[in-house]
Amino acid sequence: MIKAFLIKYGEIAIKGKNRYVFENYLVQQIKIKLKKQGEFVTKKEQGRIFVEAVSDFDYEEVLKELKKVFGIVSICPVSVLDDFDFEAIKKLAINHIEQEYEEKNFTFKVYARRANKNYPLNSMEIAKEIGSLLLEEYKELKVDVKQPQEKIMVELRNKVYIYSKEVRGLGGMPIGSAGKAMLLLSGGIDSPVAGWMIAKRGVALDAVYYHSHPYTSERAKQKVIDLAKQLGEYTGRINLHVVPFTDIQLYIYETCPHEELTIIMRRVMMQMAETIAKNNKGLALVTGESLGQVASQTIQSLTTTNAVCQLPVFRPLIALDKQEIVNISEKIGTYETSILPYEDCCTIFVAKHPVTKPNLKSIEKSERKLEKIDVLIQESLDQTEVIKI
């Protein structure tokens, strides 16, 4: 039975003297991900990461969890041996083929590496001996040194490792290696995808959701909690800040020109998200905006929104069209929840003809009428509920 996995990474390998920092983040994320799957030893060794089971585990579940860890390019199920006796290594090779292949009628090539250059056989001799053994044992196997269907890898390090299959991982960078940001999470399709994409670059996430009860329902709030949980499958722990937004939204509606409601409301949201981010060591904001998708996502609107922010605003979806965003949403498992027909605060009090090319001076002039806004913002922040996902 396979008891170990070789973890391959991509970009981390070119990080030079800082590589160990990123490797440490990846090892930490793997440990967190496998915590509920059994006992495992996860260790770095000469540019590789090995995960070895020391208790029983569900092979498919472990593979499923590793496939959700950013930073892993591929996962190789590995047969492991402590004994360097070559007869034992040959038995391990036979056992590996028996376990990994139901049909043994493929072409193959054996590749060998040895860390100990004093081993009695060199790499070429190891590959030749194992290849001959497999041909003798399985009559339907054939060698193809140019385009083999299967590459049988034999590595002699501090243990003997044999592997031949690679399961594709997500790639990217390990969570936490690029700092932490605050995601503006609605109940729609876009913002969970934006969170997933920026997390793939190594950014840890917290999230903020604006709740306008009773105009938005408890089912709408639960929908966002469910989306945060689905996103958390990839990002790990998320602190979801549920901000009561009704009084602020009504105040803006009653005080400002209706065609400017969306952009003013958006600026207040960004301002509040930034305050929460700074209080929780967040270094940036993340939104699900896609250029030109709606009135608040034109270049002029985004420029006006940005003017209220001090932190950088990441918009991973800015150049994607809706179908591309939907495709990612389906891939990461948030789509079916996102399309549940519950309203969010952005879909209520919407002007019939919202301004699409807002003028910053005009918006700021309207905002000066909001004399009580600072008090309302502080009251709302004080009443914010934090849900640990």
Dist. CA 203–CA 281, nearest whole Å? 12
Instruction: Write down the residue that tokens 């065609």 correspond to.
Output: 259
Looking at residue 132, its amino acid is: S
The residue whose two tokens read 């001799």 is 125
CA distance 264 to 267: 5
209 is in an annotated binding site: yes
* DSSP-based three-state secondary structure for 278: helix
**Contact partners, residue 361, CB within 8 Å, separation at least 6:** none
Q: What span, in angstroms and rounded, lies between the C-alpha atoms of 324 and 257?
A: 35
Say if residue 210 carries a ligand binding annotation: yes
**Phi, psi for 254 (deg, rounded to 5):** -80, -20
Q: Please report, for the chain, how many H helices and E strands are present, in that order.
A: 13, 15
CA distance 48 to 5: 11
> Is 297 annotated as ligand-binding?
yes
Quick one: which H or E segment has residue 50? strand 48-53
d(CA 49, CA 14) in angstroms, rounded, equals 15
Determine if residue 185 is labeled as part of a ligand binding site.
yes
Please choose, from the candidates 158, 75, 143, 72, the residue with its C-alpha nearest in 3D space to the C-alpha of residue 111. 143
Name the residue with tokens 């193809």: 144
CA distance to 216, 258, 301, per residue, from 353 (Å): 22, 8, 14
CA–CA dist 171, 72 (Å, integer): 5
In 180-281, beta strands by DSSP E: 180-184, 204-211, 239-244
Neighbours of 80 (CB within 10 A): 18
* Binding site members for ATP: 184-185, 209-210, 266, 288, 297
* Binding site members: 184-185, 209-210, 266, 288, 297
